[in-house]
């Protein structure tokens, strides 16, 4: 226990310093928090003083940090879901936008990633299984990071905006498909793929969604409306917290990520302003101060960029990076425009969808552990994920500044005027 407390203190302080530095550089705090994990991991601290790294982050003490970070992710997704403005998607010409953005934003980079995987395998992954490696390269380029996107949206105060709502809904759909594809690819790699098991998991997920919306939601509405003249009590908040945790456990047990269960719990409980206010007052501060830095830093701690074995590393990295940006940004933009969204909103959605961050790191780590990805390719894709994530906030801030500029100055700066 004492070493766990030291770990927690070091991570929180490092995340605080790096998060503040990231904001000074025009980035979101989450980029700094992931960078804090990289600095504390084997790539930096381990290279400087391996004994200090082993003392702070021994394998025996890491499970506690992992579980604490998982709790942070679950509570972040619940908080975000409470503030999603889903009504902005109803009764609009662009109501199908999340589906189109998710499909095109995943299919195009997936195809590009598979193509690069097919070409690159003889050069940088000759010993990897052909099918698993090619499919995994496609999956790596097609992922969007809902938790990182959520944190960026909250940092930039965009949670109530229509583009952010579309992007988060599309990213959620993308990640559901991504986790399903990951399960299939992992089964292929292990030689245990079973189509009936995939259908079973999808059926269980559909049953859980139906139960949440058709049964749990009315029950919670009745309970919360019974005391609507007063703020929710501590007992009600405790029951809400237990419901969020159990919902997350169910989706994880089915085979999907626990974050989806937290988001489903939020969709069940959203619309109750008193509950959202009480949660923000009593829980949000602890989540943002302690749990979220642990979650993002934990991912960085497990990234090792110390082994770059291929002499053509940077050429292949640039190819992966260009394909990732063109595929995800371009595919998402086409999906948004196809559904009738104006150019300005479509580019914001595309920039958010190009955020990969932590979900990418989780997927890549699984690929490394399964032996699908060699270390050099893993390192390339980790760098790609960090670069695409770091692109998001500067782009959004630049477009926000353009919006505040007079029309004449925007045209002079080369900005695109609003669609009619």
pLDDT in tens, 86-133: 555 555 555 588 888 999 999 999 999 999 989 988 887 777 777 788
For residue 225, the model assigns a pLDDT of: 78
- Check residues 308 and 119 and name the one with the higher pLDDT: 119
Contacts of 216 (CB under 8 A, 6+ apart): 243, 268
CA distance 181 to 138: 10
Within 13 Å, how many C-alpha atoms sit on residue 290's CB side?
Answer: 12
For residue 194, the model assigns a pLDDT of: 58
Question: Predicted confidence band at 42 (pLDDT cuts at 50, 70, 90)?
Answer: confident
Considering the chain, what percentage of its residues have pLDDT values greater than 70?
82
Candidate from 187-201, 274-288, 370-384 with smallest mean pLDDT: 187-201
CA distance 135 to 185: 7
Candidate from 61-70, 226-235, 369-378, 410-419 with smallest mean pLDDT: 410-419
User: Which pTM does this prediction carry?
Assistant: 0.68
Q: Looking at the predicted structure, is the pLDDT value of residue 246 above 90?
A: yes
For residue 195, the model assigns a pLDDT of: 61
Q: Looking at the predicted structure, is the pLDDT value of residue 358 above 80?
A: no
How much is the mean pLDDT over the chain? 79
For tokens 């979900």, the residue is 359
Question: Predicted confidence band at 405 (pLDDT cuts at 50, 70, 90)?
Answer: low
The DSSP 8-state label assigned to residue 370 in this structure reads T
The angle at the Cα of 242, spanning 237 to 244, to the nearest 5 degrees, equals: 95
Candidate from 108-112, 280-284, 301-305, 379-383 with smallest mean pLDDT: 301-305
Instruction: List pLDDT tens digits, range 317-326.
Output: 899 999 999 9
For residue 61, the model assigns a pLDDT of: 67
The token duo for 286 is: 């602890």
144: left (phi over 0), alpha (psi -120 to 50) or beta: beta
Length of the chain, please? 420
Question: Predicted confidence band at 380 (pLDDT cuts at 50, 70, 90)?
Answer: confident
For residue 418, the model assigns a pLDDT of: 38
């Amino acid at each position: 226990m004492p070493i766990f407390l030291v770990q927690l203190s070091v991570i929180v302080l490092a995340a605080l310093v790096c998060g503040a530095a990231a904001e000074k550089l025009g980035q979101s705090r989450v980029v700094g928090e992931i960078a804090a994990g990289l600095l504390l991991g084997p790539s930096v601290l381990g290279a400087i003083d391996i004994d200090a790294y082993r003392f702070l982050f021994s394998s025996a003490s890491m499970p506690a940090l992992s579980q604490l970070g998982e709790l942070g992710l679950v509570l972040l997704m619940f908080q975000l879901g409470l503030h999603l403005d889903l009504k902005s998607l109803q009764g609009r010409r662009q109501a199908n936008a999340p589906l189109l953005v998710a499909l095109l934003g995943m299919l195009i980079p997936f195809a590009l990633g598979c193509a690069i995987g097919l070409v690159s395998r003889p050069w940088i992954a000759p010993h990897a299984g052909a099918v698993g490696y090619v499919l995994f390269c496609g999956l790596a380029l097609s992922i969007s990071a809902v938790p990182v996107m959520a944190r960026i949206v909250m940092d930039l105060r965009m949670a109530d905006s229509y583009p952010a709502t579309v992007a988060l809904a599309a990213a959620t759909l993308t990640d559901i498909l991504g986790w399903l594809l990951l399960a299939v690819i992992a089964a292929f790699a292990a030689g245990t793929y079973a189509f009936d098991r995939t259908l079973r998991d999808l059926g269980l997920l559909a049953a859980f969604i139906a139960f949440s919306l058709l049964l749990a939601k009315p029950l919670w509405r009745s309970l919360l409306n019974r005391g609507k003249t007063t703020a929710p009590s501590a007992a009600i908040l405790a029951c809400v917290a237990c419901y969020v945790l159990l919902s997350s456990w169910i989706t994880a047990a089915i085979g999907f990520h626990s974050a989806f269960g937290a988001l489903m719990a939020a969709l069940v409980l959203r619309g109750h302003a008193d509950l959202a206010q009480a949660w923000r007052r009593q829980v949000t501060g602890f989540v943002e101060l302690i749990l979220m830095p642990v979650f993002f830093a934990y991912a960085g701690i497990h990234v090792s960029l110390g082994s770059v074995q291929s002499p053509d590393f940077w050429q292949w990295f640039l190819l992966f990076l260009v394909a990732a940006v063109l595929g995800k940004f371009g595919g998402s933009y086409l999906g948004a425009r196809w559904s009738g969204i104006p150019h300005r909103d479509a580019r914001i959605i595309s920039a958010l969808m190009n955020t990969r961050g932590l979900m990418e790191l989780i997927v890549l780590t699984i690929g490394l552990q399964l032996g699908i990805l060699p270390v050099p390719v893993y390192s390339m894709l980790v760098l790609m994920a960090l670069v695409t994530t770091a692109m998001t906030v500067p782009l959004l801030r630049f477009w926000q500044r353009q919006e505040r500029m007079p029309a004449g100055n925007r045209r002079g700066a080369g900005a695109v005027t609003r669609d009619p």
